[in-house]
Amino acid sequence: MTRGALELNAHGDGGGVISGPGHAALTSSDLAGLLATFNEVTNKLQSAHDSLRGEVARLTSELHEANEQVERSKRLAALGEMAAGIAHEVRNPLGSIRLYATMLEEDLANDANMAAIAGKINGAARVVEGIVGDVLSFARELKLRMEPIGASELFEHVLGMCEHERAKVKTLEVVRSCVKGTELTCDGTLLTQAMVNIVQNAMQAMAAAGNVYGQSHRLELSCTRTRAALGGRARLAAVRLRVRDSGPGVSAEIVSRMFNPFFTTRSMGTGLGLAIVHRIVDAHGGRIEVRNNAEMMGEMTESERAALGEFAMRGACVDVLLPVKQAASASKSQRHMNEASAAVEIPDVHGSGAKTAQELALLGVFDRM
C-alpha cells in the first residue's frame, strides 16, 4: 500500500479500522480473514507446485525410456537392412545346394549310405533356408493393415495357435480377463503373430521348469486400459495386453538382451522370434515391458495378489502397450493449477461479490496489500 494512503482509527473495543480512498473500511478481523485465506491459497499453490514437479520428474523419466526405445528401434532397423542384404546373398547359392543335393539323392537311390549323406546335406540346407527366411522376415518393411479387433477374439486366436505348446505343460490353468468392450485398432495378423510368440515363450518356460515349482502352472492373459509414454511422447491413452506366467522368471541380463536379433537361451532357434515381436509392436507405435512378478507385488491390489496365490512370487510378466486414439483432454498439470487457483473463494470485503484467488490476482488485490 502507498505510504500514508490508509488511516487506522482506534476503537474503544481495542479493534481498528483500515480505510483508504475509494474503499470501504476494513476492520482488523476482515484483514485477518483475508490474510488467512491468502495463506490457504499460497499453501495450495505450493502443493500444486510440488505435485507438478513430481509429475515433470515422472514424465521426464518416461520420456527418457521412450526415447531409448526409439533409438533402439533405429539401431534394429539398420541391423535389419544389413542382415537382409546378407540373407539375399546367401539364399541364391543355397537354392543351388538344395537342388544339387536333391539330384544326388535321386541318382544315389541304389546306394543307401550315399543317398543318406545327400539327404543330410539337403536337410542342413533346409535349416539354413529357414534361418534366411527368419532374417528376411525380421528385415522386411512392415506395412500395417489396420482394422478393429476385440481383445477377447485376439486371445482366442492366440491360444488356438499355441495348443501344441500348451500340451507340454502339465496342469496348466489359463485365465483370461478383458475389460468389456475393449477393442484394438491394429494389424490383426501381425499382432496375433507377436502375441503367439510371447505366449509360446511363456509356455516353453513353464514346461522347461518341469517339477521345480510343482506340477501346476498358471498363464494369465489380460487386456486393460492404461496410460503410457509411447513413441517419445508423454503419457498417452493405451491398451495393455498382458501375458503373465508361473515359470522361473527372467534375469535382468536376459531382459536387457532378449529382443536383440540372434539372441537366444535355447540350443535350437535363430533368436529372431522376439526381435520380430519388437518390430511388430514398434510398427504399431507401442512398446514392450518385461518384469518378474515378484517385482510387481507393490503394484498389485489385494484381490490381484489373492488371485495369483502361490504363483505371485514366481514367473514373468510381459506387457504389450499399444496407443489408443481418443479426443484430447485437459492435461493433469493444468487441472492441478486450476484447482489450486480457482477452488478457494475469498470473502467479499469490497462489496463486489466473492472472488476466486485467480480473479483477485488479476485485479491486483494482493499487490495492493
Mean predicted confidence (pLDDT) in 39-66: 84
User: Considering the domain boundaries, does residue 359 fall inside one?
Assistant: no
Of the residues 141, 161, 196, the one at which a domain ends: 141
102 and 11: one domain?
yes
pLDDT of residue 300: 77
User: Considering the domain boundaries, does residue 336 fall inside one?
Assistant: no
Residue 337 confidence (pLDDT) above 70: no
Residue 113 confidence (pLDDT) above 80: yes
Q: Pick the residue with more confidence: 140 or 284?
A: 284
pLDDT of residue 79: 73
Mean predicted confidence (pLDDT) in 37-43: 89
Of the residues 111, 141, 171, the one at which a domain ends: 141
123 and 151: one domain?
no
Angle of helix 273-283 relative to helix 188-209, nearest 10 degrees, comes to: 140
Mean predicted confidence (pLDDT) in 318-333: 63
40 and 175: one domain?
no
User: Considering the domain boundaries, does residue 150 fall inside one?
Assistant: yes
Q: Model confidence over 280-304: pLDDT tens digits?
A: 998 898 989 999 988 888 777 777 7
163 and 312: one domain?
yes
pLDDT of residue 17: 52
Distance CA 280, CA 287 (A): 10
Q: Pick the residue with more confidence: 155 or 368?
A: 155
Residue-range definition of the domain harbouring residue 201:
144-323
pLDDT of residue 273: 87
Residue 235 confidence (pLDDT) above 90: no
DSSP letter for each residue of 274-338: HHHHHHHHHHTT-EEEEEEGGGGGGG--HHHHHHHGGGTTSSEEEEEEEE--------HHHHHHH
Of the residues 112, 141, 170, the one at which a domain ends: 141
106 and 189: one domain?
no
164 and 256: one domain?
yes
Q: What is the mean pLDDT of the chain?
A: 77
User: Considering the domain boundaries, does residue 258 fall inside one?
Assistant: yes
Residue 196 confidence (pLDDT) above 90: yes
Q: Model confidence over 124-138: pLDDT tens digits?
A: 888 888 888 878 777
User: Considering the domain boundaries, does residue 330 fall inside one?
Assistant: no
Distance CA 218, CA 206 (A): 9
270 and 235: one domain?
yes
pLDDT of residue 322: 93
Residue 239 confidence (pLDDT) above 80: yes
Mean predicted confidence (pLDDT) in 30-59: 86
pLDDT of residue 344: 38
194 and 266: one domain?
yes
User: Considering the domain boundaries, does residue 107 fall inside one?
Assistant: yes
pLDDT of residue 359: 41
User: Considering the domain boundaries, does residue 353 fall inside one?
Assistant: no
Mean predicted confidence (pLDDT) in 81-95: 80
Q: Model confidence over 7-20: pLDDT tens digits?
A: 444 444 445 555 55
188 and 302: one domain?
yes
The total domain count for the chain is 2
Give the CATH number for residue 168: 3.30.565.10
User: Considering the domain boundaries, does residue 57 fall inside one?
Assistant: yes
120 and 158: one domain?
no
304 and 182: one domain?
yes
The number of C-alpha atoms within 13 Å of 147 and in the hemisphere containing its C-beta is 10
Q: Which long-range contacts (CB under 8 A, 24 or more apart) does 16-23 make?
A: 23/350
103 and 17: one domain?
yes
